[in-house]
């Protein structure tokens, strides 16, 4: 699914600010190579023979390839901090539901990476907020900082991945088993694109529940008798 030009929803509470810009380096065939807010790095990239667009508005970059890349593959955390706020508030005019409407800030980075791969594969305009949130979880972890909660939607900001650990392990095992049974009932994936998407989302749910079960199992008190 191709990403159409985006429309930013105006927030009357947002202070007026100058449009954020970055320097964009591309290969000869136009592939996005690096995005930076650092002038010195931009000059070095140009010296290496890359095609350089100076002071590119982040809003334009969204329409020219950024959503096809993981943020940490093309920019550092300081550049991401400049670019990320420009992604918040974008929406299209469709009524399609996003693939992931809720992405808790405390989500394990490994889970965020998995979800991001799915979002990028089936990206629609309605998924830009999920793209922002998942990349922020990953970038914050790599930079060893807390996620910027201002980048998350109210639904995501008020959610907690860790809350699932408050449940009894037996309950999580039941959810895992039910998800596995449901996956076996899905029709063959070659019946249509929507079936493929449903199957992939369900498999990711199973993967996440398996991750939680492994963590819960590791937290269980040891059954080995104590020495002495």
Dump pLDDT digits (tens) for 78-96: 999 999 998 886 655 456 7
For 4, 57, 79, 88, 175, the CA distances from 52, given in Å and listed in that order, are: 24, 13, 16, 25, 50
Q: What is the pLDDT of residue 140?
A: 98
In whole numbers, what is the pLDDT of the chain averaged over residues? Answer: 84
The angle formed by the CA atoms of residues 103, 106 and 109, to the nearest 5 degrees, is: 80
pLDDT of residue 176: 93
Whether the predicted model's global pTM rises above the 0.85 cut: no
pLDDT tens for residues 96-141? 789 999 999 999 999 999 999 999 999 888 899 999 999 999 999 9
Q: Say what the pLDDT of residue 93 is.
A: 46
Across the range 47-55, mean pLDDT stands at 90
- 3-state SS of the chain: helix, strand, coil percent to 5? 55, 10, 35
Residue 192 pLDDT > 60, yes or no? no
Residue 213 has pLDDT above 50, yes or no: yes
Can you give the pLDDT at residue 66? 86
Between CA 87 and CA 101 the distance in angstroms is 15
What is the reported pLDDT for 111?
97
For the chain, the residue count is 228
Q: Determine the Cα–Cα distance for residues 57 and 54; give it in Å rounded to an integer.
A: 9
The CA R_g of the chain, rounded to the nearest whole Å, is 21
Dihedral angle over CA of 134, 137, 138, 141, nearest 10:
180
């Amino acid at each position: 699914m191709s990403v159409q030009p985006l429309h930013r929803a105006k927030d009357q509470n947002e202070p007026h600010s100058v449009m954020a810009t970055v320097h964009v380096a591309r290969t000869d065939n136009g592939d996005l190579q690096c995005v930076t807010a650092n002038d010195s790095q931009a000059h070095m990239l140009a010296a290496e023979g890359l095609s350089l667009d100076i002071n590119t508005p982040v809003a334009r970059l969204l329409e020219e390839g950024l959503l096809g890349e993981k943020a940490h593959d093309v920019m550092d955390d300081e550049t991401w901090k400049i670019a990320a706020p420009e992604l918040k508030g974008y929406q299209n005019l469709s009524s399609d539901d996003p693939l992931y409407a809720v992405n808790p800030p405390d989500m394990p980075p490994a889970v965020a990476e998995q979800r991001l791969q799915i979002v990028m594969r089936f990206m629609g305009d309605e998924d830009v907020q999920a793209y922002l949130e998942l990349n922020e979880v990953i970038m914050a972890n790599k930079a060893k900082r807390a996620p910027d909660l201002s980048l998350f939607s109210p639904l995501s900001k008020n959610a907690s991945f860790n809350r699932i650990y408050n449940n009894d392990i037996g309950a999580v095992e039941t959810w895992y088993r039910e998800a596995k049974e449901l996956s076996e009932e899905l029709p063959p994936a070659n019946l249509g694109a929507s079936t493929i998407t449903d199957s992939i989302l369900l498999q990711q749910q199973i993967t996440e529940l398996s991750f939680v079960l492994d963590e819960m199992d590791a937290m269980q008190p040891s059954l080995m008798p104590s020495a002495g």
